Structure 1
């Protein structure tokens, strides 16, 4: 549990004057929970642990540095990280983000001024407070001269893995062009390397099965072919779903055996775990995606992924995307990720580029057989070709690294709303806000004119649970008190949206 400041202690933090208040729609923020819930676990345990490891990482880098100016600059980064740790441990008020030249400053400070003035880490909604912590962590380096792109999660990987040299720093614009590279110090995140290399059993189980191009079985009737495609869709959607179990920002003490259990992709395992999908719209999704509403005139639809974790989860997402393209259900798939390191293991552009390159050229699995390595390489080459052909692409937007909920997307990022409105289906892999019915939780993404169809694939790893009937939640609270954070349960939730309706902005 967090160590709170004693009564009467000064919790103020030196900062610039807060910007002028503006009216923002935050939607349904998660309610505070009683007892040792996600708020206490996040602010009192997980975030200090993650930040402590990050400080240790930077100290190791400092000890290896020889240039005096870079050493002094890095010690100032460490000092800012220690200030952040003090704020966490002493439950300080949430101060404005210092202007570090990044284009998301107005987004953050408008929210802080309007809704969170005087709030501290423990009484602000925990999802916002956690996002705020990661933005503050980025600030520790973005204010420096030499370390703007430093990745504090890099060294969590095994020391035997090598990485390409750093790329030049890129400054963030308010709504950045999707073609710009993410400002990250390495072309691969440590967490991606770590979870992917530790996931060998599941990685090769999938690569050996799906390396060869997918073909419809010959001699089948049209009805039989459609049923075979439905069964494959059903299985791969579940693989994509359960890949979401591996989130290092939530599972900080996960063992290799834990990873293997979470990542099992065998048919028997999937059949057994389907009963743990508490809200299951798989049937509705297949009915939509196999219809002319999604695939028109023999052309596959456009699918957008709003990504969550790098490493094994991204690998599962790409296996899924690969089959959707090969099956003809999709003709174009767009992935949406983060601009810089976020929540330890969230996907950045470098993660997206690193994965297929590591499959083709890397040496992450020294004990793998020639057949296993060949299957991995074959898939990686095919994915790289998809990117060259424009069938797979990556975009990044400042909205995804803000503290806003989905309710604010249309007002705060109208360009992003317009982009998503062009999609035939948007799959969200990350948290949805509030323990409410799904359509209510995503707000304008379900009700606004032009809103695209939305599918949420989410394993339950926090107090934030959407689309679970209240009576079921009450029963699980009684029978399995830790069900909200175990990763054992999941939801598959679908909103048809209002695609095609004219969009207007206030």
Structure 2
């Protein structure tokens, strides 16, 4: 069969009003400058480390400087729309597939003219892969940890809320309406939590992000007006029919997972990480274990005000660790999987392929087979479900996911941070456009989409 082709073209990267144009002009330079700063800080730490052997220091410092020079070269070529280079064979993922697609772009195989998602994959792909010291370096790790620590109040509050729910568990399980409302609030909390992808939210203040992360009932109701499509009730109905296993893709939302196990009867939750860092909010295999470790060491990063409630967080952290030990929570790859490391019998590298997810059947059949056995597959904020395609806003989510339609039950939680939007009423989009609101890209509007299994 011929490879699926969406019925609409991708967004034009040369459109000055588009997200792609702003990405090349503004987002990428900011991201690359941040990585340079990250390397410079690490180099200072290496120089000050008296316990490190001089040969190792020399390699680390030299390679770090080489990476900075490479980033400077990329910034220069990017700003002048040079052709994107092929990826030379290394031990990282998706080399052949990227090069095949790059060749297929023809005269559009340059930084400005290529689809931005494809080009952003190339942006960071080889910076660290051919080094010795920096091979396992995640340039977003410190930013992720900083964001986590700055969310101290929200993390402690969620832990305390879970324990409060535990105390009422018997009553809640016998009250379908209340449990349904709690499920809805949990989904909304999970949705807005993804707004912390700081590399995309260039116009949102830290105060805005903190507000989105709060979980009080009144604020949930206030935010509902910003959810342009809400199929959360269909996801509830799906889990009431089947709750053997839930898969969470590209996110380590342990609180949501704990709620699903404790209150929705889910037997197992499988977390699917990305093989390499792509966006700052992406979860890699090392991130998964580190998240629980950070929760267990809450006293080291919690504010003084929050330490008073540290017992609740310690209790929840111990429970989450037990869930992993018992296999109730499981990473889709071994816990000790390194960045970019291939895993025998797994197609998990597909998550960091340059391809949209509707090519899963062609490129990752084992992954498709696994997800077909899931009660619900939750995607957090990944527009690769629909591709960077210029779908009319009223296009149904079902149509926009192409060959994935009906393959497995999908719940997509996405805050709008790029041009693509589907499942939105035309009159709603027209009203927002007429008011001059950048609702497609400012991260303040969202979509909760559901697709049942056929």
TM-score, scaled relative to structure 2: 0.86
Q: CA deviation at 1:131?
A: 2.3
SS at match of 1:52: helix
Give, in whole Å, the separation in 2 of the partners of 1:46 and 1:53: 11
- Between 346-355 and 140-149, report the one with greater CA deviation: 140-149
Q: Deviations over 1:99-129 (max 9, x none)?
A: 2222421121121122355422222122222
SS at match of 1:142: coil
**Does the 8 Å CA contact 1:26/1:404 hold for their aligned counterparts?**
no
Written as runs of structure 1 = structure 2, the 5 A alignment for 1:197-276 is: 197-211=149-163, 214=166, 225-252=175-202, 254-276=204-226
Residue 194 of structure 1 pairs with residue 194 of structure 2: no
Give 1:8's aligned residue. Answer: none
**Does the 8 Å CA contact 1:39/1:126 hold for their aligned counterparts?**
yes
Residue 109 of structure 1 pairs with residue 65 of structure 2: no
Query: Residues 77 and 330 of structure 1: is their aligned pair in 2 closer, same or farther, counting only changes over 3 Å?
Result: same
**Does the 8 Å CA contact 1:116/1:124 hold for their aligned counterparts?**
no
Q: Deviations over 1:286-322 (max 9, x none)?
A: 222212xx1xxxxx321111125xxxxx4xx221110
**Richer in helix (by share):** 2
Written as runs of structure 1 = structure 2, the 5 A alignment for 1:7-406 is: 24-25=3-4, 27=6, 30-32=10-12, 34-63=15-44, 64-65=46-47, 67-115=57-105, 118-135=108-125, 139-153=126-140, 189-211=141-163, 214=166, 225-252=175-202, 254-291=204-241, 294=242, 300-308=243-251, 314=252, 317-362=253-298, 363-395=300-332, 397-406=348-357
**Does the 8 Å CA contact 2:201/2:443 hold for their aligned counterparts?**
no
Q: CA deviation at 1:258?
A: 2.5
Q: CA deviation at 1:252?
A: 4.5
Give, in whole Å, the separation in 1 of the partners of 2:371 and 2:229: 24
Query: Residues 69 and 216 of structure 1: is their aligned pair in 2 closer, same or farther, counting only changes over 3 Å?
Result: closer
**Does the 8 Å CA contact 2:239/2:264 hold for their aligned counterparts?**
no
- Between 224-233 and 36-45, report the one with greater CA deviation: 224-233
Give, in whole Å, the separation in 2 of the partners of 1:409 and 1:303: 19
Give 1:438's aligned residue. Answer: 397
Give, in whole Å, the separation in 2 of the partners of 1:214 and 1:445: 37
**Does the 8 Å CA contact 2:246/2:377 hold for their aligned counterparts?**
yes
SS at match of 1:330: coil
Query: Residues 284 and 384 of structure 1: is their aligned pair in 2 closer, same or farther, counting only changes over 3 Å?
Result: same
Give, in whole Å, the separation in 2 of the partners of 1:209 and 1:491: 25
Give, in whole Å, the separation in 2 of the partners of 1:116 and 1:318: 43
- Between 95-104 and 250-259, report the one with greater CA deviation: 250-259
Root mean square deviation, CA, Å: 2.3
Give, in whole Å, the separation in 1 of the partners of 2:66 and 2:12: 35
Residue 463 of structure 1 pairs with residue 406 of structure 2: no
Give 1:483's aligned residue. Answer: 439
Query: Residues 219 and 242 of structure 1: is their aligned pair in 2 closer, same or farther, counting only changes over 3 Å?
Result: closer
Query: Residues 371 and 70 of structure 1: is their aligned pair in 2 closer, same or farther, counting only changes over 3 Å?
Result: closer
Q: Deviations over 1:151-184 (max 9, x none)?
A: 323xxxxxxxxxxxxxxxxxxxxxxxxxxxxxxx
**Does the 8 Å CA contact 1:431/1:464 hold for their aligned counterparts?**
no
TM-score, scaled relative to structure 1: 0.78
- Between 108-117 and 383-392, report the one with greater CA deviation: 108-117
**Does the 8 Å CA contact 2:152/2:303 hold for their aligned counterparts?**
no
Query: Residues 211 and 474 of structure 1: is their aligned pair in 2 closer, same or farther, counting only changes over 3 Å?
Result: same
SS at match of 1:30: coil
Give, in whole Å, the separation in 2 of the partners of 1:265 and 1:191: 23
Query: Residues 444 and 214 of structure 1: is their aligned pair in 2 closer, same or farther, counting only changes over 3 Å?
Result: farther
SS at match of 2:83: coil
Residue ranges of structure 1 left out of the alignment (5+ in a row): 1-22, 154-188, 295-299, 309-313, 499-506
Q: Deviations over 1:309-365 (max 9, x none)?
A: xxxxx4xx2211101100143111111111122212311112111111111124111
Q: CA deviation at 1:250?
A: 0.5
- Residue-pair matches, total: 420
